[in-house]
Structure 1
């Protein structure tokens, strides 16, 4: 069956990058665009459904911890550091079970869908029960996330995360026992079972991750490397904190970037999350490898992490992507603007990224980093669409082009979202209700939530 739409304005995928076009007739068959015709005569396409506003490709959220959504508005109340925030995050992690995790993730992913996110990379390390024992199905928590994304209607790359140490040479402690498999071999066995259990399921990819070099001992990195190739995304928190770099140099005489490179874990399928505190050598290595750098600007701002060298990484050859990470904000427009804004603060100069570059980071490069290449509004590509109102109180007077969307719109201005050719039902009031229920439910109390 062919579905046809006439897009008032659309940002098309071209060899030269995103391109604005008017009156674009698109046809969709089996979840892909089979026809994309700009400048179409509306009178000649009476069968096509009109889509008002500006149609953008779907956004990719390349770094998510779904359960952190329960922290919004709470961890911001007091002074502290990343490490004091982490203690509060551990309080949420200690309480969730598979059912509660499903409820919270489904509501969180619905919030993502409502602002135009059509694919999420879930950095998943909450594996076991509160005592550290595997559930009867050792992937119960991960499968809850898969089910949550499926029920919302967005794609997911579940990045199953290896976590073995609380710090360099230190065993897991407290809630960290929920994160840790017995050893790297046990983790690998569980991941292989997860791959088998999700094989053939549309909208699902399984990738792998190392939580960080402090949480994965050097001798376990080789096990990770056996999973990684051009088809399997590999993600890792990298140099988010200065202390991580100091401790890595003390333990191994290498920076975290150099350590990954030594084990063959720095390549074109690698995504380095945060990549905030880098040396010039680190930047050159990451760029030379053609790796991705997954920046999470609103989280890095919220936690006081610092400002990463985004422009330098891009000029060295890295590809930037964007994630919501701790869910302090879920809004891809804000992440795009924040990437540019942070660079301005760091350099005291304006104009580091064009709107086209920011959109590429938030869409096609983001999808590719999660194993979903071939996205954008173009023939043969996945039929994701995000319709943005260019006449709202935020966008009115800003123009009717890509700059207006990137530098003026917010997630609230998203009116319609299509994923793989299917329109999603966006019901903000219902999403808010589900978030309240999932966060305030006493069975997974967040500590002072009520």
Structure 2
């Protein structure tokens, strides 16, 4: 058994989360085995200065999109500039290049305060659509990258069958840039998913790497395939989907199927507590009701949604309807849990003209247990407690951003630059902006990005 002594920490208490001083954590098997406040450090304790919070969880990531940061704004940087660069980057990926890139991206997440990530993964095959000699080469590359970075990974293997859907419901074929994303049909994907789960479970610790499922979108998965997934997808894994990110998606779905994307999922029994709808920016009141009654999660990625001009999603209305809100970094316009928390509230303020749409406590919950509940990794509570996994981030209270801030209001002042130490599974993984075993993420990223145009 080992220990951490925290100068201050956000802990669970009878009256709700509170910041206590002199908090000593005893850890065993990667979990918090004991917690007392008002304590002094004991010999051998690792000292964490500042205010210690539960580490954050990133519920939606496309690791290769990190290539796009700061490179899709030529001219006015419209959607087509972004799309062209995204497809070019996807086409240049190989298992070796992706492992190196993802290792750097995951290291950036760890240093920023994330201890788990849901990787929405659809680059499965060679650029011409043929499988690799090692069937799961791309997926295993991502798993190895996560292990190298020490981050918990839920690999969300994605079904992507169509390039769009016509008004008559007939699916458009995948384009040349998309063929490496696809499988022969939904049954072939289910078979590949089963094989991947077996291989991952035999090769990696389950508390660190696990497999979930994703549907790219109702544009990418025609209705007849949604039916197959609903009937045959194992019940014990999470399911994610991009939902109503753009009005054009809703229009196409309604023309083809007579309902919204949320309505189409409900038609086939796919709106459940295990479902995480990503973005959910353009919803009808009925969509919100359906998602709330199902107890589904909505994963919002405010920095990406702003970067892509998606719009401001109805986060407050969804939460009030019973939806669990989670946060992700999607295309990694920023990798910063505090920035995403703040952007969620700021978007609500801009859309409603009102302050205080979410409390700081609710924002912290969206970045912790809201996000981990959507994944297959251990659930991370919004405040430290005995029995929880020992995933921690320490935040400097005296930086130029946080000086004078009330610690529980750090969602409105802190950034990833204020994260001084990160612990995952009871092990110190990052300190002073550097990964303990990999070094500076900036150097890793600079080297990895040299392989891409």
Common fold by TM > 0.5:
yes
- Among candidates 376, 390, 394, match of residue 387 of structure 1: 394
1:303 is the counterpart of 2:308: yes
- Among candidates 424, 440, 443, match of residue 450 of structure 2: 440
**1:308-323 paired onto structure 2 within 5 Å:** 308-323=313-328
**TM-score under structure 2 length normalisation:** 0.94
1:116 is the counterpart of 2:104: no
For residues 136-181 of structure 1, the C-alpha deviation after alignment (integer angstroms, 9 at most, x for no partner) is 1221111111110011001000000000000011000111001011
CA contact (8 A) 1:18 1:360 kept: no
**TM-score under structure 1 length normalisation:** 0.94
**1:18-417 paired onto structure 2 within 5 Å:** 18-40=17-39, 42=40, 45-168=42-165, 169-199=171-201, 201-202=204-205, 203-226=208-231, 228=233, 231-376=236-381, 377-399=384-406, 401-403=407-409, 405-417=410-422
Structure-2 residue corresponding to 1:9: 8
- Stretch of structure 1 that moved more, 129-138 or 234-243: 129-138
Aligned residues: 438
Question: 5+ residue gaps in structure 1?
Answer: none
1:423 is the counterpart of 2:428: yes
SS at match of 1:134: coil
- Stretch of structure 1 that moved more, 193-202 or 174-183: 193-202
Structure-1 residue corresponding to 2:168: none
Q: Cα 1:172–1:17, aligned 2, differ >3 Å: closer, same or farther?
A: farther
CA contact (8 A) 1:208 1:227 kept: no
1:225 CA displacement = 2.2
Tell me, in whole angstroms, the C-alpha distance in 2 between the residues paired with 1:17 and 1:360: 13
- Stretch of structure 1 that moved more, 47-56 or 428-437: 428-437
Q: Cα 1:312–1:15, aligned 2, differ >3 Å: closer, same or farther?
A: farther
CA contact (8 A) 1:57 1:363 kept: yes
SS at match of 2:164: coil
Tell me, in whole angstroms, the C-alpha distance in 1 between the residues paired with 2:277 and 2:80: 20
Question: 5+ residue gaps in structure 2?
Answer: 166-170
Tell me, in whole angstroms, the C-alpha distance in 2 between the residues paired with 1:39 and 1:327: 39
1:230 CA displacement = 5.9
1:108 CA displacement = 0.5
Tell me, in whole angstroms, the C-alpha distance in 2 between the residues paired with 1:229 and 1:181: 18
Q: Cα 1:226–1:82, aligned 2, differ >3 Å: closer, same or farther?
A: farther
1:46 CA displacement = 4.5
SS at match of 2:357: coil
- Stretch of structure 1 that moved more, 145-154 or 69-78: 69-78
Tell me, in whole angstroms, the C-alpha distance in 1 between the residues paired with 2:270 and 2:280: 15
For residues 173-219 of structure 1, the C-alpha deviation after alignment (integer angstroms, 9 at most, x for no partner) is 11100101111111111111100001152201110000000000101
SS at match of 2:333: coil
CA contact (8 A) 2:74 2:81 kept: no
Q: Cα 1:21–1:138, aligned 2, differ >3 Å: closer, same or farther?
A: same
Tell me, in whole angstroms, the C-alpha distance in 1 between the residues paired with 2:395 and 2:446: 27
Tell me, in whole angstroms, the C-alpha distance in 2 between the residues paired with 1:227 and 1:363: 30
For residues 337-357 of structure 1, the C-alpha deviation after alignment (integer angstroms, 9 at most, x for no partner) is 000000000011111111110
The alignment's C-alpha RMSD in Å is 1.6
Tell me, in whole angstroms, the C-alpha distance in 2 between the residues paired with 1:126 and 1:211: 11
1:6 CA displacement = 1.6
Q: Cα 1:227–1:338, aligned 2, differ >3 Å: closer, same or farther?
A: farther
Tell me, in whole angstroms, the C-alpha distance in 2 between the residues paired with 1:257 and 1:13: 36
1:118 CA displacement = 0.3
- Stretch of structure 1 that moved more, 129-138 or 4-13: 4-13
